[in-house]
Structure 1
Amino acid sequence: MLRRVSAIDIGSNAIRMMIADISGHPSPTIQVVKRFRAAVRLGHDVFTEGIITPATMDIAKATFRRYAETNKELNVEVCRAVATSACREAKNRQDFVDEIFKNSHIPIEVIDGTEEGRLIHLAVRKELNLDNKRSMLIDIGGGSVEVTFSDGDKMTATKSFPMGTVRILENLTKRQLNEAHLNIIMGEFLGDLGEHIYKNCDHDPVDFAIGTGGNLECLGKLKVQLLNAAPHSFLTLSELNAIIEKLKTFKVKERVEVLKLRPDRADVIVPAAMLVQTIMRQAEVQKILIPGVGLRDGIAWSMLTK
């Protein structure tokens, strides 16, 4: 029997919703009905002022009212909404959760990095066959990066790092630096990141990396667009290096006008690409798969298992 659910991911760069039909019999399936995205950059407020400002709160409330109406129109039975890095750190996060519920009757769970990693891993293992493989999952968000290790389809370690793309941009702005100085910012996180990677893959190397998040899907498409290479479902490290060099030749405005990137993707795509590059180099992996699933898919799967 099919149940219609909606999964909402309240990230640092956007608020995304996916509506899907789920079934546990005869075998578990999820059929995506529709995906939505609202460019509400909670991270801009939180990483500069420590709170979600009234103006952004109003945009988020309007987004959730719209999502609640959509749930009603499309006969959604259950909705699960989770908030990640920006909301976790906002001093007024409880006000945000209360206001959204008052306006939309959608309850929000603020989850930690471990639960975020678990949900993303759940989505990935439903999409890819991980049997007899050691893999490293990289989720690039606006506020944080989750790096998860897996033996087969069993998650063995996950850690969240406060080095998401929006946070990096705000860090650059605050220090009056620009994209050319990204290596300085990256370098400040390398100690913790390197330790996590070394601990989990030095004695038992990973077979491949897996990348999730909108920026990784965008990098897959840019491989086709900029390098004239297919398919968009994976990147080699050398392809990623080439994409970064080409992207650096475009100003943010040109990425919007020439490459047709959304404005809230155009300014974070180089930090995202360099984060992936850094992690792949540290782990000495040459290939990253891009399965096209993410946190929303994991949330939907979690509703099926419940």
Structure 2
Amino acid sequence: MSVTVAGIDCGTNSIRLMIVRLHGIINGGVDRDNLEIIVPRIMRVVRLGEGVDVHHEFSKEALERVFAAIDEFSQIISQHKVDAIRFVATSATRDARNRQEFENYIHSKLGIYPDIISGDEEARLSFLGATSVINVSKYQSPFLVVDLGGGSTELVLGGLGKDNCLQVKAEFSMNIGSVRMSERHNLSDAPTQTDIDAAIVDIDKHIEHAARVVPLADVRTIIGVSGTVTTMTAVALGQDVYEQNAVDGVHMPIDNVLEVDERVLRMSRTERDTLTVVHPGRRDVIGAGALVWSRVLEAVRQATAQSGFTVDSYVASEHGLLDGIVLDLARRTEMTRKK
């Protein structure tokens, strides 16, 4: 007996689809060895959150872009006999006043309404996806999963709990991300030092607030997920063309990526266009994303140094929210069948 599910992650900058088949569950959980990837991750940059931070609504152009992606995804899903679909919408949709048009279009194409999840639920699913491929014996716990999106950034601390299973211990969703910070502080094209300084103050305030909930000093392993993290890791590795296998799971010294983050942040848009490893749809916001990533890494390194254990590297991961969506949906669908 198996179940086939489709998951869609619609963020502020991009939308992703994955279809998987689960061949049984073990002790209420999902073993990735029992998970068959039917349609690997497909990503389209749609910039749904363009202007949402300022206007608090979706633009006509943004909706047209995301609707085209939904049309494409619905065609792909129709080619497979899926038992369940979950469409998850995150930061930009939480903030948009005119989201009903968006929701109705999804329902007309997929037969479901989107789940506009909270930051805490986004954090939980990101942690599930990121740690689903972790060899627990290889890394020190607790883990801090950092999911750096276009509109928000989730910090999720977790470690081994009962039955040697990974469990979330603390999480916080910060209302900062690559698109939001780029628009708010004019970071898309050779930003001035004044704009950079203002962005740093803004970002650091959010991190300080998050650190009251998530004890950064307890972190022993940082796992960075999302396009910003993997892209900046690829730049630090000197890639000209994105090579997923070389990025996924790589250990990157924090100092290495901080230097690259700083350089990319200060580039003009023309200079960023020479970074062929960066998706064209990310080039105007990658500097802002790099700055958020740098400030988070610095905050964790400083907090852990004060505790006597300095975290000076991170693990880049291709597995995050979308993986969590399909893993969670597959588990729940299978368990419902067994009742």
TM-score under structure 1 length normalisation: 0.89
Structure 2 portions without partners, runs of 5+: 161-165, 302-310, 333-339
Q: Deviations over 1:213-242 (max 9, x none)?
A: 011111221122169xx9632321111122
Alpha-carbon contact 1:197-1:283 (below 8 Å) kept: no
Report the counterpart of residue 272 of structure 1 in structure 2.
289
Residue 35 of structure 2 corresponds to which residue in structure 1?
30
Give CA-to-partner distance per residue, 1:148-170, whole Å, 9 cap, x none.
Answer: 11132211111111111100111
Structure 2 residue 138 is matched with structure 1 residue 135: no
**2 CA distance for matches of 1:46 and 1:40?**
13
Match of 2:325 in 1: 299
Give the corresponding residue for 1:213.
226
Q: 2:128 aligns with which of 107, 122, 130?
A: 122
Aligned mates of 2:197, 2:134 — CA distance in 1:
32
User: In 1, are the aligned partners of 2:15 and 2:44 still within 8 Å (CA)?
Assistant: yes
Indicate if the aligned counterparts of 1:2 and 1:23 stay in contact, CA closer than 8 A. Answer: yes
Contact 2:144 2:222 in 1 (8 A): yes
Q: Which residue of 1 aligns with 2:197?
A: 183
Deviation, structure 1 residue 112: 0.5
SS of the equivalent of 1:261 reads: coil
Percent sequence identity over matched residues? 24
Aligned counterparts, 1:72-87, within 5 A: 72-87=78-93
Q: CA 1:198–1:47 in 2, change beyond 3 Å: closer, same or farther?
A: closer
Corresponding letter in the other structure for 1:172: H
* Structure 2: distance between partners of 1:196 and 1:245: 23
- Would you say the 8 A contact 2:144–2:158 is kept in 1? yes
* 1:1-306 → structure 2 map (5 Å cutoff): 1-25=1-25, 28=31, 29-32=34-37, 33-130=39-136, 133-152=141-160, 153-173=166-186, 178=191, 180=193, 181-197=195-211, 200-201=214-215, 205-225=218-238, 232=247, 233-248=250-265, 250-284=267-301, 285-306=311-332
Aligned AA (2:226): G
How big is each residue's C-alpha offset from its partner over 1:17-53, in whole Å with a ceiling of 9 and x where there is no partner? 1122222257723233322122211111312321112
Number of residue-to-residue matches in the alignment: 303
Q: For 1:178-205, what per-residue CA distance to the aligned partner results, in whole angstroms no more than 9, with x for missing partners?
A: 2642231121232342243255436x53
Matched residue of 2:155: which SS?
Answer: strand
8 Å contact from structure 2 (residues 86, 325) kept in 1: yes
CA RMSD in angstroms comes to 2.6
Note the residue ranges of structure 1 that are not aligned, 5 or more in a row.
none
Query: 1:254-306 deviations in whole A, cap 9, x for unaligned?
Result: 32334342222112222222212211211223111112101110001101220
Normalising by structure 2, we get a TM-score of: 0.81
Helix, strand or coil at the partner of 1:147: strand
